[in-house]
């Protein structure tokens, strides 16, 4: 499929995206290169105004997927289609015209901001790159407007990041991402470094901004309770692959993959009495190395219902209806 070709009306579609890295061998005994399959054949779609939550343990490929979509790392293969245009395979110059339509909010709010720049300079920088025709007065007005919208005070415009709390720094990051009025916002674990009370404020802010600006969002997290609050649909990743995708209500009410069930059962319950009395079996073992994944089903080494078939064959994708898809030999669907 050639870059630039118009093929669909959805805001974003990703088809069989792979991001593989070649690593050097391990000395004389294992020369040559090893292949790390960080993202291994992921497909997804995103409608205008929709939020797709992407969940999974650390190391499952969520952040690499985001960077592959944005072109921050070069995909090995697959297509990324933004507003009907195939942008995979474009060079840096060609991709530039699409940059302002898709922005990212990073996990660590303080580390993602340049400590030598003021709030005004941080938020203005994208406009200097993409909207250089704007005058200084108009830029300053835009900066003040977005600061006010994300909950920052106008008199903070000339302060530096170290003068703000973590939650305030994340608001600055959100303001910077939205100053160009993008269509797609990728949030890469934007609240995991914040206190619980501040997490709720940032989540509510993102939900309000989404409605006002008609944003589509990819919301990456490992906390399923956060994802449940903000997402319309949820995609579960394990070792670079998608193991389950469903609407939010379907996924939490009727998870079909054993990995998804384990993640949902591990969500803490606010009531201490119920939390103490609940019974569930936590996941055993660690996430396998993507350099040496298990044969057949990648989850089989930790799955309580794995059989010999799981070691021999990669599981098919089971369609449970209503867009609910489960990659498992033995899905449990009501």
Residue 29, pLDDT score: 55
SS (H, E, C) 106-152: CCCCCCCCCCCCCHHHHHHHHHHHHCCCCCHHHHHHHHHHHHHHCCC
Q: Of all helices (H) and strands (E), which one includes residue 26?
A: strand 12-26
Domains of the chain listed by start with CATH number: 12-25+33-101+182-327 (3.40.50.300)
Residue 228, pLDDT score: 92
Sign of CA dihedral 264, 267, 270, 273: positive
pTM of the model: 0.90
Q: Could you report the per-residue pLDDT of 190-201, keeping only the tens digit for each?
A: 998 888 889 999
Q: Could you report the per-residue pLDDT of 68-126, keeping only the tens digit for each?
A: 999 999 999 999 999 999 998 888 888 888 888 999 999 888 888 999 999 999 999 99
Residue 222, pLDDT score: 86
Q: Which residues of the chain have pLDDT under 70?
A: 1-9, 25-32, 270-271, 273-277, 334
Percentage of the chain lying above the pLDDT 90 cut: 69
Residue 6, pLDDT score: 38
Beta bridge partners of 19: 39
Alpha-carbon gap, residue 255 to 261, rounded angstroms: 6
How far apart, in Å, are the Cα atoms of 328 and each of 151, 245, 295, 299, 305?
Answer: 44, 12, 14, 9, 11
Cβ density class 260-277: b for 16+ within 10 Å, e for less: bbbbbeeeeeeeeeeeee
């Amino acid at each position: 499929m050639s870059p630039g070709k118009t093929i669909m009306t959805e805001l974003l579609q990703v088809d069989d995206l792979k991001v593989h890295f070649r690593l050097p061998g391990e000395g004389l005994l294992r020369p040559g290169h090893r292949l790390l399959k960080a993202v291994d054949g992921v497909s997804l779609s995103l409608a205008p105004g929709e939020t797709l939550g992407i969940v999974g343990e650390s190391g499952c490929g969520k952040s690499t997927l985001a960077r592959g979509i944005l072109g921050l790392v070069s995909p090995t293969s697959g297509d990324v289609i933004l507003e009907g245009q195939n942008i995979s395979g474009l060079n840096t110059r060609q991709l530039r015209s699409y940059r302002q339509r898709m922005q990212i909010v990073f996990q660590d709010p303080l580390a993602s901001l340049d400590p030598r720049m003021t709030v005004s300079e941080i938020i203005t920088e994208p406009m200097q790159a993409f909207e250089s025709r704007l005058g200084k007065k108009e830029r300053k007005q835009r900066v003040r407007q977005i600061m006010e919208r994300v909950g920052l005070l106008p008199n903070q415009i000339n302060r530096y990041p170290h003068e703000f709390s973590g939650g305030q720094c994340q608001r600055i990051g959100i303001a910077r991402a939205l100053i160009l009025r993008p269509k797609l916002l990728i949030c890469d674990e934007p609240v995991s470094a914040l206190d619980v009370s501040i997490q709720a404020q940032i989540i509510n802010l993102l939900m309000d901004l989404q409605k006002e600006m008609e944003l589509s969002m990819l919301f990456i997290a490992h906390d399923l309770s956060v994802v449940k609050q903000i997402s319309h649909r949820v995609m579960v990743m394990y070792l670079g692959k998608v193991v389950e995708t469903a609407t939010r209500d379907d996924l939490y009410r009727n998870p079909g993959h054993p990995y998804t069930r384990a993640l949902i059962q591990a969500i803490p319950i606010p009531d201490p009495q119920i939390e103490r009395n609940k019974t569930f079996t936590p996941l055993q073992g660690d996430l396998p190395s993507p350099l040496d994944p298990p044969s057949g089903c990648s989850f089989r080494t930790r799955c309580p219902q794995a059989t010999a078939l799981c070691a021999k064959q990669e599981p098919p994708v089971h369609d449970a209806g209503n867009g609910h898809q489960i990659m498992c030999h033995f899905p449990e669907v009501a």
